[in-house]
Structure 1
């Protein structure tokens, strides 16, 4: 499913949003930061969580394993050039998030329990189906259902569980002699069971508890992780210019794409096209722009102004991919571990930390991975719960959490290849309804944005 057509939809759609809005969201970056810090938060506005908690919840699912493991997978498969295409996905993804998350507030709908909800399935139902109706209903209902169905499986915590288990096994269990490299299943299973207990304590409290926990955990972990990466880059500062140049040149000659990653059906004879797919795929996995998961998180924000949440959501790819992923990628590249190791995923990042920060680097990365992985698991559970509630009714949506925590066991003991294939496939299916609905309703967002920006000086503040 991750062929060039989906890349065209995500990148082409994001470029369309960028040009169609005439770069308007980027002109109000400072205003977006003011919204984020609560300057316009009205406690009486509809919704469940404030703007900061909504962004923290969304970032909890993106900043973390997508940055630590996802970018490592991209470099392992495609080499330095993959990061360039991750940048492309992030830049156009900022415009995509502005549109999709504005729509998530603009077209919130009620679930079967009468509670206001946001997300692509409600955007399709309230924004397309109810307004266009007629014969188009037969298209829009399945489109909303497709997103909700894929949204049950796409946000499963199996990648986070897999990578957390992997780093604990490689950095602690095996070195301590608790398990052997060829007989580690018992240790992985125990890790999975412990994760089930920790995650269950939080997710059964709903989005309010999830938002409060992630708002405290994510900023602290970002500071620790970024501090470690800065130390690595400082110790290899002379190598940075070379690799920044290599990232750009390798993006177009694809000298480091692994043969197993080449898709012969991709454009440009398969090699460069395959590299583009790798970079966009991992970039979207990192920042989630266009997948619809971002709209599920931001759709719960307390606001009467849809454009506000679109502006806040726009900050996500900048923080996530352009800053954090770039730092991780450079740490892997400047330390040289990407050349000499067959390690994939989080282990490749761990090797970079070990090379630059012997002993202490391992434990600092383990701490970050533990908290990042768990915070991601907390947010993802909310996504799947909303999708199941849309399909079978809010009365039964709580049942998803039992399926969700059970999948942690599978993620802990499965191979990374199986985990990535399942998640990527479901994310591809989620992107199709999200992007189609956003493109069709783009005029509504542009109209709302023009109205909002014309009134910006009149807004009441709550400092």
Structure 2
């Protein structure tokens, strides 16, 4: 066995171990617990997010760095894109159609989870080494639970440094460019693509450097312009494909549900593989309970933690229930997943679009993948930097930025299996301190939510 094969195997074993039953219970069971504790109240006030995102309650004097809509777009830019396109393809190829059902489960309970984690990210903001107000699980733990829980905060920050690597995004972006255009058009030889891959990686790194120079404020402005348009464009593409195969849609939904409890589409009928794959990929898609989304929502300009919690609930609905479902339907309706041996990630999704759009399919997909993958790269830099500064202070942050940009280029030529396993594994580690602190501090959110929603109702009655 070669060294690279040994590393791939070791990282795959690591990811499988950390995503075992205890973590699945913590994420899904914890989310269900939060849903029950909240009595479903956040779900009943989902419409309030529209007013918040429209800026109806914005106050420039409030603490924080970005408005509600920019905080949400930044969080979505970290989840939308390759996690919803390549990630769904990986979920289906690994766990079969039934994995999609368990992705839906993570999204439904993730609405409640995100309400709590985002509310806590604002409620227990803390100062970093530079004295700047910051939010995120490590600050929630430090400010909300106290110093005796600091090992959990450190654990999240360390795992965040590994999980927020940009390698998956650059790897899959380059793969789509190479296999859909560079090789077919004869730009590069199929057996000698290293130089092409690395060059594209360098271009991505240079472009990212220009955006991240403006920190969260520029990232927020960039993502709020990009994300809505790209989502609508992608939904239009997928609806065309779904419309083309509309007669098969009921059968595909039935297969998703039936396979979720049988594992028939997985080798050996391993139901545990279906559930684990669906939940881990769902978590990778919407990041509910992982804690990364709190790093963005904690930067919102507001004095009302519950407001940001309501805004954050939109995330799992958009990225998993809508975008991931559309991707899954495209892959399942076209049938490309049945003959997917040797076809990985974004290439499978590109093949599915080719079934309807022909050679234009990969190009149309690239038009959506490239900007969203790029937005994820710059957002992950912000997440990783916050973890780095929490651990080491602000003095060395320029070295982290240089290292991060180098990873963008290196990830373009790295092994997909190794990169995917490492990031998925780190996501699991991040979930432990995030869900633990959220469950312990949930009563604070319940009290604040009661006061906030009762106050809203009283104001409505007064205006009548």
Place the TM-score, normalised by the shorter chain, in its bin: over 0.9
TM-superposed CA distance for 1:409, in Å, is 1.8
Provide the residue aligned with 2:128 in structure 1.
Answer: 111
Stretch deviating more after TM superposition (356-365 or 416-425)? 356-365
Deviation string, structure 1 residues 80-128 (Cα, Å, up to 9, x no partner): 1000000001111111000011000000001121110000000000000
Per the TM alignment, residue 204 of structure 1 is displaced from its structure 2 partner at its CA by 1.9
Q: Report the TM-score when normalising by structure 1.
A: 0.94
Aligned twin of 1:133 = none
Q: Tell me the SS of whatever aligns to 1:218.
A: helix
Aligned counterpart, 2:188: 179
Equivalent position SS for 2:47: helix
Q: CA RMSD in A?
A: 1.3
Q: Does 1:413 align with 2:422?
A: no
Distance in 2 separating the partners of 1:435 and 1:106: 16
2:66 corresponding residue in structure 1: 49
Aligned to 1:7: 24
Contact 2:111 2:288 in 1 (8 A): yes
Match of 1:62 among 79, 82, 100: 79
Q: Give the aligned partner of residue 218 of structure 1.
A: 227
Q: C-alpha distance in 1, partners of 2:450/2:271?
A: 39
Deviations 1:321-350 (A, max 9, x none): 001100000000001111123212000100
When structure 1 is superposed on structure 2, of 401-410 and 49-58 the one drifting more is: 401-410
Q: Report the equivalent of 2:248.
A: 239
Distance in 1, Cα, partners of 2:422 & 2:262: 29
User: Could you say which residue in structure 2 is the equivalent of 1:82?
Assistant: 99
1:146 Cα offset (Å)? 0.6
2:233 and 2:365 map into 1 onto residues whose CA distance is: 9
* Contact preservation (8 Å) 2:93, 2:340: no
Aligned match of 1:304 = 303
Aligned partner of 2:110 in structure 1 is 93
Tell whether the 8 Å contact from 2:78 to 2:379 is kept in structure 1 after alignment: yes
The Cα of 1:459 is off from its aligned counterpart by 6.7
Identify if the C-alpha distance between structure 1 residues 378 and 258 changes in structure 2 by more than 3 Å, giving closer, same or farther: farther
Which 5+ residue runs of structure 1 have no aligned equivalent? 131-136, 260-269
Equivalent residue number for residue 322 of structure 2: 323
1:301 is paired with a residue whose SS is coil
The residue correspondences of 1:272-421 to structure 2 (distance < 5 A) are 272-342=271-341, 343-421=343-421
Counterpart-to-counterpart distance in 1, 2:432 and 2:305 = 22
Which secondary structure state, in structure 2, belongs to the residue aligned with residue 296 of structure 1? helix
User: What corresponds to 2:217 in structure 1?
Assistant: 208
Moved >3 Å (runs of 4+):
457-460
- Following superposition, the deviation at residue 401 of structure 1 comes to 1.3
Structure 1 Cα separation of the partners of residues 394 and 124 of structure 2: 18
The 10-residue stretch of structure 1 (278-287 or 353-362) with the greater mean CA deviation from structure 2 = 353-362
Aligned to 2:45: 28
Range with greater deviation from structure 2 (32-41 or 325-334): 32-41
SS state at 1:395 partner: coil
Match of 1:134 in 2: none
Q: Distance in 2 between matches of 1:329 and 1:107?
A: 37
Name the counterpart of 1:264: none
Gaps of 5+ in 2: 1-17
The alpha-carbon deviation at position 395 of structure 1 amounts to 3.1
Q: What is the rounded CA distance, in whole Å, between the counterparts of 1:416 and 1:31 in structure 2?
A: 40
The whole-number CA distance in structure 1 between the counterparts of 2:212 and 2:77 is 14
Q: Alignment partner of 1:29: what SS? A: coil
CA distance in 1, matches of 2:398, 2:197: 27
The offset of 1:36, in angstroms, is: 1.4
Shift of 1:458: 6.3
Q: How big is the shift at 1:181?
A: 2.5
Aligned equivalents of 2:166 and 2:130: distance in 1? 27
Which deviates further from its counterpart, 392-401 or 186-195?
392-401
Query: 1:165 is matched with which residue: 174, 187, 197?
Result: 174
Q: 1 CA distance for matches of 2:99 and 2:44?
A: 28
- TM-superposed deviation, 1:393: 1.0
Question: Is the 1:386–1:397 contact (alpha carbons within 8 Å) kept by the matching residues of 2?
Answer: no
Per-residue deviation, 1:205: 1.4
**Matches of 1:258 and 1:405 in 2, distance apart?**
39
The superposition leaves residues 62-92 of structure 1 with CA deviations (integer Å, 9 ceiling, x where unpaired) of: 1111111100100011111000000001111
Contact between 1:77 and 1:258, CA under 8 Å: does it hold in 2?
A: no
Q: Point out the more displaced range, 398-407 or 246-255.
A: 398-407
Which position in structure 1 is the counterpart of 2:153? 144
Kindly state the Cα deviation for residue 245 of structure 1 after the two structures are TM-superposed.
0.4
Matched residue, 1:267: none
Query: How many pairs align?
Result: 442
When normalised by structure 2's length, the TM-score is: 0.93
Distance 1:319 1:352 in 2: 22
Instruction: Tell me, in whole angstroms, the C-alpha distance in 1 between the residues paired with 2:161 and 2:192.
Output: 32
Q: In 1, distance between residues paired with 2:93 and 2:209?
A: 33
Tell me how far 1:382 sits from its aligned partner: 0.4
- Go from structure 1 to structure 2 and tell me whether the alpha carbon gap of 1:39 and 1:72 turns closer, same or farther (over 3 Å shift): same
Q: Secondary structure at the match of 1:43?
A: coil
Quick check: 1:203–1:209 contact (8 Å CA) kept in 2?
Answer: yes
